[in-house]
Every structure is written in C-alpha cells, then in structure tokens.
Amino acid sequence: MVDVVAQMGPSFLGSRLKRLGERMQASASAIIAQAGLPLQPGHMAIMAALRIGPKTVGQLAEAGGTSQPGVTRALAQLYKLGMVADEPSDDQRCRMVGLTPAGFATVQTIATDVWPRVGMAAEEILALLDGDFLRQLAIIEKALAQSSIAERAARAVPGALTLRAFDDTLAADFHDINAEWIEAMFSLEQVDRDILENPRERVIDPGGSILFVEASGFGIVGTCALQKAGPGAFELTKMGVRETARGLKVGEFLLEAMIAEAQDIGARKLFLLTNRKCAPAIHLYEKLGFVHDAGIMAEYGARYERCDVAMLYAGA
C-alpha cells in the first residue's frame, strides 16, 4: 500500500509528526509499565516540572507547552493516583500543585529507570541522521510560535511547480515514484530494476538526464529520465507522477521540460516505449508532438515485455 502520509510531504507534516509521536509514546508506555509504574507518557512533563518544585496549572501548561485543560485532565489522574496534592499558596487566586511523598518516590524511579532508557534509545535513532534534529525541531517550534500553519497557509500560493535536476539524494524518489505506477499497472521487469536501482550508472553517467518536479506544499511529486540509446538517440523513460499529486498538471509540465532538456543535450532522435493501457499518458504524448512509429517499435520495442506502443517525437 502507498504511504499517503509520507507521500504528501510537507502538506501532511502535522499528521506525520503525530504518527511519529504516537509510535514513540506507545514504546514509552511499555517502558513505564515495565518499571511497574501506573503512569502514562502524558504525565511525564508534569512530573518533570513538579520535580523542581510546586507550580500552578498555568506554569505547568507553559513548562510542557500544552493547554491548561490538558494539564487539568492529567492532574486529575495524578490526584487519583496519589502522586500530587495541593500546596499552600500566598496567592489565593492560584492553585499550587506539588508532588506527594509517593510522587517524589515515583519521579525518582522515572529519573533513574525510565527517562535514561528512553533517551538512550532515542539517541540511537538520532545518530542515524545528518544534522542536529533536536535543534531543527526547536526552530520549527519557534517558527510556529511566531506564526501558525493557518496564518502561513493564508499567505501561501499553492500549486507552484519547479524543476530539480538529479542528485543522489533524489535517487529514492526516482525509484519509488516509478515503482508505484509500474507495479499498480504491470509488474517490474529486470530492465526497470536496472534503471530504478542504478539511476546514476544507467542514465546520468552515459550522458542522459533525470529531472524531478517539486510542487509547493507537496515536495517531489514527479520524475522522468532521458536514457541514451545511441549516438544522438535518447529514450524518454520512467516518467511518473505520484497519485497524491494528480490534478496539479505535473505530467504536462514535466513532459514539456523533458522535451526541452532533450533538445539542450543534442538529441536528434527522441522516442518512448509504452503500453496502450497508459491511455492518458499516450494522449499527452500525442498532444506535445509524439507520433506512433513502427520503426521505433521494430528497433527498440523488445526492450520491455509490456511494450505495445512506440512513439517518436516529431515536434509540436
């Protein structure tokens, strides 16, 4: 199945972070239970803040970066568990909350047996990344405090498409976008795997090109390759658009760019191989100047078992 949340890129950033948080909190819950504690991950920020000293509900909300109603609900649970109790306050308008002796004992267990284990596990994952993720996360949080997603969305102009040239960091996008549509309609052949798994060796190094389309708010949504097939001859191949980006006219934008790219690299013959099942794509090829060609079919058609349509670019 297609991971829609991942494919939607920045548009689903909140959903992806929520999913990530839920996965991590589920594991944290298991670790807390293993320590024999009756708490949940949602209690941890409150316990950490009260470990320093008594606080008001407002102070606890600020310390944890959460809402006061959320803190109030969590405190109600901690009261029932005997972890917290009201504390005397000079200001009668403010309710002070502090840890009970049982709460102090529990937070000591958390500090020695839970937080270090969770932290070490998280550090193991963070070590796989380039850059300081926690610093980057702090930048995101600060930016949201300055201007929310809703405020930024009101200023945004959606749908802008831009081209990006191939680099090795985009190799996975080249593979995944094409594997998605090929496997949905046909099956991956060995020639597909050779190109998709080795784009630099099979396309770029021999003198070909791969372009990508980036859609504002969506990330990389389409790709296509020009693979050298002989002196002055190039095959337009591995053109795909993510299902989640349909309707943005990515295909036409990409095909126009690939035709211009072929001209820039000196292609004297530009052809493509496809299957009649790809009717919308064939219509687009015809619209932009490709014609059906028996000679291309005879010369190159055997490359793919699924090929029953061959086209040559004759100009717009």
d(C-alpha 123, C-alpha 19), whole Å: 19
What is the CA angle 93-94-97, rounded to 5? Answer: 150
pLDDT at 151 (0 to 100): 83
Domains identified in the chain and CATH numbers:
4-146 (1.10.10.10), 161-313 (3.40.630.30)
Round to whole Å and give the CA distance between 255 and 174: 15
Least confident of 64-73, 179-188, 226-235: 64-73
Question: Which amino acid belongs to residue 95?
Answer: R
Residue 236 pLDDT more than 60? Answer: yes
pLDDT computed for residue 150 by the predictor: 85
Contact between residue 223 and residue 240 where contact means Cβ atoms under 8 Å apart: yes
Q: Where are the alpha helices (H) located in the chain, listed in sequence order?
A: 4-7, 13-34, 44-52, 57-64, 68-80, 101-109, 115-126, 133-146, 149-155, 171-185, 190-197, 199, 250-264, 279-287, 294-300
- Residue 215 and residue 160 in contact, taking contact as beta carbons nearer than 8 Å: yes
pLDDT digits (tens, 9 = 90+) for 112-150: 889 999 999 999 999 998 889 999 999 998 998 888 888
Question: Which tokens go with 104?
Answer: 């102090």
Nearest Cα to 236, choosing from 206, 215, 267, 191?
Answer: 267
Amino acid at 45: A
**Tokens 């080795």 — which residue?**
198
Beta strands in 216-268 (DSSP E): 219-230, 233-241
Query: Tell me, what's the pLDDT at 195?
Result: 97
- The 10s digit of each residue's pLDDT in 240-276 is 999 878 878 899 999 999 999 999 999 999 999 999 9
In the chain, the percentage of residues whose pLDDT exceeds 90 is 71
